[in-house]
Structure 1
Amino acid sequence: MVSAKSAKLKEIKKIDVGKSHWKKVMILIFLLLVCIISFLISVGNGSLDISNKEIIKAIFIEKDTVKHQIIWNIRLPRTLVAGLVGICLSLSGSILQGVMRNPLAAPNIIGVSSGAGLMAFMIYIVFPQYYYLVPLGAFVGALLSTLLIYALAWRNGVQPMRLVLAGVAVSSLLGAGINTLMTFFPDRVPGVIGFMVGGLSARTWPHFNMLWPYALLGIALTFLFPKRLNILMLGDEIATGLGLNVERTRLLFIVFASLLAASAVSVVGLLGFVGLIVPHTARLIIGSDYRYLFPAAAILGAATVMACDTLARVIFDPVEIPVGIVMAMIGAPFFLYLLRERRLS
């Protein structure tokens, strides 16, 4: 009698899990549709509005027209860069929030982006002939800054507020390094404003080609280990009891987060708040299971940055503002909401 009841409960549980799985799959499909719409809007809108039908014709059929040149050489690479940057920063933020168990952990807030930005800025300004090494240099800077922040915040464990304070301090120090370079090399920083706030202006195929190998590597590595991050979220003691090497896993994900953040920073500069807003939004929509949270954050991140970049292009047309300004207008109130409502400590 008991065994029959237990079997029935297991069967009901399997059905519930199956329903939950398909519900989350449907959410992912819906987010993917939103991302596709955001992509089409980004490619089709600007100084010259182009319909979806004209976009397809200009890319695949009418290749000798002005619209083809506008779409293929200007808007398409810029939109693809925006999408990849959104994916990288969203996944990086998701990882950092999980590894550090801190809802304020995001690449731009705790100093990861600043470390990547300083190294990228140094190569662009001091060693411009080695510009192709910018993503690699940014990765080294992001990784070192993350490890430094984590070490400074460690005292019999990591407390959320101590981590944020350490990140703010390190970020300020690295920001001072960037300002020092600007002071010593003022003639070499004509596009520094776009880099400091995060901008996608004039991003073309060379930028995309520089970004995608590092971004693809970081994305692939991240999607290989969602279950490990799920276990890590249970707490160090439980994770160790389940056979997980906690410190090795934490270090592994810090490397992934640094690679993703560095890939984005090397191309668009210090674009903020994507890694804070998107993971939280994705978590509200689809839950905290990283098997679903990673793809949801990636898709939503791409859609968000593409949409914000479109808005940055058209809101004051013909004047274009950096996408980082639009993200800051959205992200700052969200950050204050977290501080006020979550009572973080």
Structure 2
Amino acid sequence: MTTTTEPLSRHRAKLFDPWLLLGIAIVAVLLVVSLFTGVYDVVGGKDGAEMFAITRIPRTVSLVLAGGAMAMSGLVMQLLTQNRFVEPTTTGTTEWASLGLLTVMVLFPSASLFGKMAGAIVFAFIGTMVFFLFLRRVSLRTSLIVPIVGIMLGAVVGSITTFFALQTDQLQNLGVWFAGSFTSVLRGNYELMWIVALVAVAVFLVADRFTVAGLGEDIATNVGVNYNRVVLLGTGLIAVATGVVTVVVGNLPFLGLIVPNLVSMIRGDDLRSNLPWVCLTGIAIVTVCDLIGRTIIMPFEVPVSLILGVVGSIVFVALLLRQRRNG
């Protein structure tokens, strides 16, 4: 006789996959390597312990928070749009966040870090809603067109931001903000990054609702889920994660595209059981790219966004070709 505890036990077993422990161990090793990688010798240096606390710990914590949050944001956005090719950098969300940051900097030059984040979050929310509303108004024949439309909208917003920055003598600052890099992450200017940890928790708690919403508005409504409310919640979480990461770190292109697709190809499309893997994979990819950027031309650094952009664009094209072959 089948009982209700059997599906729950199977779901729990799938969520707590023993392989997850191996994934956690691998990510932990990468983070330890990150803590001790750099030009300054934190082990034998005169002020090694102080430099370790000021630079290495904040940088490594930021790698964890930014990598996990942006990967999960990409997963949520793909569910809500029912499209595997969207994420904050292919829908214009990141460009809107940059415009919000620039607007706050121009109108309120003495704004605090929290104020800058608030502006970036508000604009990221508006931009993401514009994209979602556009998708609901326009009937697109193929899913491949959706990211192209998002990239075009992002390009328009990016052009407006660049013109705005040029007119207000902020073009150089804009370039620094938009180049995703963990070089400037120091103790005292990264602590608000912990906000994205709350985003990750919220995504996990409402994962089932996002899954139902991903089946479409009609099905979600039939099973008693308020589709519009779930979309607003998902948009808000995506905006918070994108806004915070954009202000502290900058642009992390294609991360939210690469990770969910890689995980789903290996493990299937069960959202709740995939979330830990999406988070871990996002952290691992960002950390590896950051380590490459730190060591490839040491003592100088290459922005992590450059490494991610190269890797992400290759994966993006590969996914498009795979989709075309599969019809």
What is the match of residue 45 of structure 1?
Answer: 37
Q: Greater CA deviation, 139-148 or 198-207?
A: 198-207
Q: 2: distance between equivalents of 1:286 and 1:49?
A: 41
Matched, 1:33 2:16: no
User: Which of 183, 189, 205 is residue 187 of structure 2 equivalent to?
Assistant: 205
Q: Is the 8 A contact 1:197 1:324 kept in 2?
A: yes
Quick one: which amino acid aligns to residue 83 of structure 2? N
What is the match of residue 3 of structure 1?
Answer: none
Structure 1 pair 124–18 and aligned structure 2 pair: CA distance change class (3 A) = same
- When you count helix as a share of all residues, which structure comes out higher? 1
Structure 1 pair 14–49 and aligned structure 2 pair: CA distance change class (3 A) = farther
Local SS of the residue matching 2:317: helix
User: Which of 323, 329, 335 is residue 304 of structure 2 equivalent to?
Assistant: 323
Structure 1 pair 284–194 and aligned structure 2 pair: CA distance change class (3 A) = farther
Structure 1 unmatched ranges of 5 or more: 1-6, 59-63
Structure 1 pair 247–23 and aligned structure 2 pair: CA distance change class (3 A) = closer
What are the Cα deviations for residues 179-226 of structure 1, in whole angstroms up to 9, with x where unaligned? Answer: 11331233x4545434223111121122221322x3133222212101
Quick one: which amino acid aligns to residue 46 of structure 1? G
Q: 2: distance between equivalents of 1:290 and 1:104?
A: 17
Q: Greater CA deviation, 111-120 or 226-235?
A: 226-235
What is the match of residue 72 of structure 1?
Answer: 53
Q: 1: distance between equivalents of 2:68 and 2:316?
A: 20
Local SS of the residue matching 2:281: helix
What is the match of residue 126 of structure 2?
Answer: 144
Local SS of the residue matching 2:88: coil
What is the match of residue 115 of structure 1?
Answer: 96
Q: Is the 8 A contact 1:135 1:211 kept in 2?
A: no
Per the TM alignment, residue 71 of structure 1 is displaced from its structure 2 partner at its CA by 1.4
Q: 2: distance between equivalents of 1:156 and 1:114?
A: 22
User: How many corresponding residue pairs?
Assistant: 323
What are the Cα deviations for residues 109-151 of structure 1, in whole angstroms up to 9, with x where unaligned? Answer: 1111111111113323553311321111111011100111111
Structure 1 pair 120–19 and aligned structure 2 pair: CA distance change class (3 A) = closer
TM-score of the superposition, structure 1-length normalised? 0.85
Q: Greater CA deviation, 252-261 or 87-96?
A: 252-261
Per the TM alignment, residue 158 of structure 1 is displaced from its structure 2 partner at its CA by 6.7
User: Which of 157, 161, 180 is residue 178 of structure 1 equivalent to?
Assistant: 161
Q: Quick check: which has more Rg, 1 or 2?
A: 1
Q: 2: distance between equivalents of 1:297 and 1:308?
A: 16
Local SS of the residue matching 1:207: coil
Per the TM alignment, residue 72 of structure 1 is displaced from its structure 2 partner at its CA by 1.1
Quick one: which amino acid aligns to residue 164 of structure 2? L
Q: 2: distance between equivalents of 1:130 and 1:44?
A: 34
Structure 1 pair 206–275 and aligned structure 2 pair: CA distance change class (3 A) = same
Structure 1 pair 128–286 and aligned structure 2 pair: CA distance change class (3 A) = farther
Q: After superposition, where does 1:277-288 map in structure 2 within 5 Å?
A: 277-288=258-269
Structure 1 pair 318–141 and aligned structure 2 pair: CA distance change class (3 A) = same
Structure 2 unmatched ranges of 5 or more: none
What is the match of residue 117 of structure 2?
Answer: 135
Local SS of the residue matching 1:46: coil
Q: Is the 8 A contact 1:92 1:275 kept in 2?
A: yes
Matched, 1:215 2:185: no
Local SS of the residue matching 2:189: helix
Per the TM alignment, residue 152 of structure 1 is displaced from its structure 2 partner at its CA by 1.8
Structure 1 pair 157–253 and aligned structure 2 pair: CA distance change class (3 A) = farther
Q: Greater CA deviation, 216-225 or 15-24?
A: 15-24
What are the Cα deviations for residues 259-316 of structure 1, in whole angstroms up to 9, with x where unaligned? Answer: 1121211211222111111111222343321112222211221222122111101111
User: Which of 87, 96, 113 is residue 68 of structure 2 equivalent to?
Assistant: 87
What is the match of residue 146 of structure 2?
Answer: 163
Quick one: which amino acid aligns to residue 173 of structure 1? V
Q: Is the 8 A contact 1:46 1:313 kept in 2?
A: yes
Q: 2: distance between equivalents of 1:92 and 1:49?
A: 35
Name the % identity. 23
Structure 1 pair 294–158 and aligned structure 2 pair: CA distance change class (3 A) = farther
